[in-house]
């Protein structure tokens, strides 16, 4: 069992993403995961060089990290890591999980928190089957989201005897908010209040991000 700032850790959540920018959808997802799955802490892991992202609007890793710190500062069970930002090269989940296992140990449970659509992408990730052995997944969905594609995937996997990740689905109403829409609104001069924490909005405007 690991100890973080005096807190014993048995179940650790990993909130990965570009956070370009971080918004209330991310924060609500992390908080719901913390509560519903009895996590001890949630570590936000801003990607340094996301290998699957082609978006030319990704701002610097340092700006994304600082906004994530600002957004999570008031929550005692949220932490922000610089692991992926400081590691050179593409930010692969397998490398992050290996580092976390070295830091916190093998005896605790790891939960990788992501959006439901990203689960299908995970099948294409580097060393995906090794990832499945190192963590479970919490897949956040919007209300009314259809899980048929995952049922079909499970059936196909059974037929082909392919290994699949262990996935827990979690319905999160705030997922209607998206980083893409926030960037579009900033560029158009539209308001983003109540989509992101006020401190994050101030950081974006003060530093002229997404213009």
Which stretches does DSSP call E strand in the chain?
2-4, 7-9, 11-17, 41-46, 78-80, 109-115, 136-141, 167-171
Q: Which one of 1.10.10.10, 3.40.50.300, 3.40.50.620, 1.10.760.10 gives the CATH number of domain 2-177?
A: 3.40.50.620
Domains of the chain, by residue range, sit at 2-177
> pLDDT digit string (tens) for 96-151?
999 999 999 999 999 999 988 887 787 777 888 899 999 999 999 887 787 787 77
Q: Does the pTM of the predicted model rise above 0.85?
A: yes
The pLDDT tens digits for 20-50 are: 999 999 999 999 999 999 999 999 999 988 7
């Amino acid at each position: 069992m690991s100890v973080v700032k005096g807190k014993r850790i048995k179940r650790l959540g990993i909130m990965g993403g570009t956070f370009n920018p971080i918004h209330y959808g991310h924060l609500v997802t992390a908080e719901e995961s913390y509560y519903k799955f009895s996590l001890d802490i949630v570590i936000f892991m801003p990607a340094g060089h996301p290998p699957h992202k082609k978006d030319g609007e990704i701002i610097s890793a340092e700006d994304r990290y600082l906004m994530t710190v600002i957004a999570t500062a008031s929550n005692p069970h949220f932490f922000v890591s610089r692991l992926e930002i400081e590691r050179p090269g593409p930010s692969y989940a397998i490398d992050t999980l290996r580092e976390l296992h070295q830091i916190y140990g093998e005896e605790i449970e790891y939960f990788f928190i992501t959006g439901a659509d990203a689960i299908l992408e995970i099948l294409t990730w580097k060393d995906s089957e090794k990832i499945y052995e190192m963590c479970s997944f919490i897949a956040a969905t919007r209300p009314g989201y259809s899980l048929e594609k995952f049922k079909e995937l499970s059936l196909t996997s059974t037929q082909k005897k392919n290994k699949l990740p262990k996935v827990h689905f979690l319905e999160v109403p705030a997922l209607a908010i998206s980083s893409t829409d926030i960037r579009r609104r900033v560029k158009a001069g539209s308001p983003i209040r109540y989509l992101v924490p006020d401190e994050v909005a101030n950081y974006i405007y003060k530093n002229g991000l997404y213009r």
